[in-house]
Structure 1
């Protein structure tokens, strides 16, 4: 497969997954903001979203105050913010259009219709209709895109690049969602972490509330939430599940220059396979997750170097 075709497929899947995960992150933060708390505590949670996406300078250039409305507007519908849901859906569609002959008709129609529905939605319209309903719509369209891919695309190299992009992006975003709740920018994160309702909202944001009940059948605790989202091999949004899929697809796509990238992916997958949540928490969950996200970033760079258009040329 041509590297540019692979590049479009990889980033198409990453952008649609990023839109969904951003919707999940904003949704859980919005739900948490409805819980009685001080204004400063609520604004810290919104600031954490900007910080975790490394958008402090871009946000400061547009807004003077970090609050819920400004962050939502910036991250949902701002066309100049390439990390907004609006931009992610646009870029996913553009990448799909570039490989129109490789994706199936159902995949293209799903991606194209999603963008046509999203492009004219103004923030005020989204807010008036219910921001939660918009997040649910984004998640549903992403699920539909994923379903048409699994149900209609030949499972060849194109499929493997799509799955690789999806799972790599999901691993990164699950780590971000967990980090913003467990640590974020709260100076006393351990105290905040005992709030049952906020942990319930976090689990629902990753479709994990019912899964948690089936696995643990007990009260929600931060330690078990971390264990579920990091180490559970059967939870579709856990870090271990994602890295197992990343390694599998890398092995199916292996070429002569991808050995080091596969080794790095294997090391990370083995760490998750044999890790214990007690050791992770003893190290410090925020520090552990930060290291994990750094390694995911390096893994993405390795994949670009080995299979795709080089990052500089792509930019």
Structure 2
């Protein structure tokens, strides 16, 4: 496969995943605003930080009120990480690799673009926000469903999945990093309970509240949340799950071409590191420090993938 095609697939699915993650984070912010108006501004600021958009937002707006943040994250022309910008880039990449996609995947991507172009053409009022965010998640899921249902499990499929899991792992890690102050071990040491709104924000942002209760029951402890989102290999947005999938997909590509790569070795090393750790060790080392290290390793892995497969941007 040409590096340009591999890169187009990789970035197409990174942008789709990022747009869905942004919608999930906005939904979490709105829930905070509706339930705890006194802390709404701080929560919107933390969401901007988690998405890596705070610096750009602060340069344009005076304060992080709900409408300004929603506009900036959904449809602002000056924000390259807005949902509208990411859907445009996903579709542009899909057009570049059109011959590598099935008709169903292309049509789902094009329909995603056309639907969201119309939905985000104007400011989204607060009363319509849940419906709009649901549409963003739904359209991304349609593309993912078409990929799973119609694509051969070959290098094309593997590059698409690598893009998805790089982005998904990055999002979960950033969320943990921004929210680490509510997951500090001292909270469980003194026997206190984490604020319900805060932990629901963490879990809802990765669609994990139901799965968490299934695994841990109704007793919510900060350590359990961190353990679940870092180490639970059954949870499709946990760091362990995402890194394992990266290792598997890179391994499939290496097998196809009969050549191991540095990126495969790096993904295998990240998988082994997580497998050898425990949540106790993470808290002893420092949750923030461990997550920051993971993000650096993940960023290096992304660059190595681009180098190994000669992506052309």
**How far did residue 43 of structure 1 move?**
2.1
Match for residue 132 of structure 1 among 119, 130, 133: 130
CA distance in 1, matches of 2:46, 2:200: 19
**How far did residue 227 of structure 1 move?**
0.8
2:181 pairs with 1:179: no
Counterpart in 1 of 2:296?
A: 294
Unaligned runs of 5+ in 2: none
CA distance in 2, matches of 1:292, 1:266: 13
**How far did residue 281 of structure 1 move?**
1.6
Match for residue 119 of structure 2 among 118, 121, 136: 121
CA distance in 2, matches of 1:222, 1:36: 20
Does the 8 Å CA contact 2:19/2:87 hold for their aligned counterparts?
Answer: yes
Counterpart in 1 of 2:154?
A: 156
Does the 8 Å CA contact 1:43/1:67 hold for their aligned counterparts?
Answer: yes
Does the 8 Å CA contact 1:194/1:222 hold for their aligned counterparts?
Answer: yes
RMSD of aligned alpha carbons: 2.5
**How far did residue 54 of structure 1 move?**
3.7
TM-score using structure 2 length: 0.90
Match for residue 285 of structure 2 among 258, 283, 286: 283
TM-score using structure 1 length: 0.89
CA distance in 2, matches of 1:233, 1:299: 20
**The residue matched to 2:179 in structure 1 has which SS?**
helix
Q: How does 1:45-84 map to 2 (within 5 A)?
A: 45-84=43-82
Say which is worse superposed, 21-30 or 149-158, in terms of deviation.
Answer: 21-30
Q: Deviations over 1:99-140 (max 9, x none)?
A: 111101111111101111111334755225521222221111
**How far did residue 190 of structure 1 move?**
5.4
**How far did residue 169 of structure 1 move?**
0.7
CA distance in 1, matches of 2:14, 2:45: 24
Counterpart in 2 of 1:306?
A: 308
Does the 8 Å CA contact 1:182/1:193 hold for their aligned counterparts?
Answer: no
Distance 1:123 1:221, change over 3 A: farther
Distance 1:125 1:64, change over 3 A: closer
Say which is worse superposed, 172-181 or 162-171, in terms of deviation.
Answer: 172-181
Counterpart in 2 of 1:271?
A: 273
**How far did residue 77 of structure 1 move?**
0.9
Counterpart in 1 of 2:205?
A: 205
**How far did residue 308 of structure 1 move?**
3.5
Counterpart in 1 of 2:225?
A: 225
CA distance in 1, matches of 2:246, 2:40: 35
Distance 1:13 1:232, change over 3 A: same
2:88 pairs with 1:90: yes
CA distance in 1, matches of 2:58, 2:301: 30
**The residue matched to 1:130 in structure 2 has which SS?**
helix
Distance 1:93 1:73, change over 3 A: same
**How far did residue 151 of structure 1 move?**
0.4
2:193 pairs with 1:214: no
CA distance in 2, matches of 1:6, 1:122: 29
2:24 pairs with 1:24: yes
CA distance in 1, matches of 2:134, 2:209: 16
**How far did residue 85 of structure 1 move?**
0.9
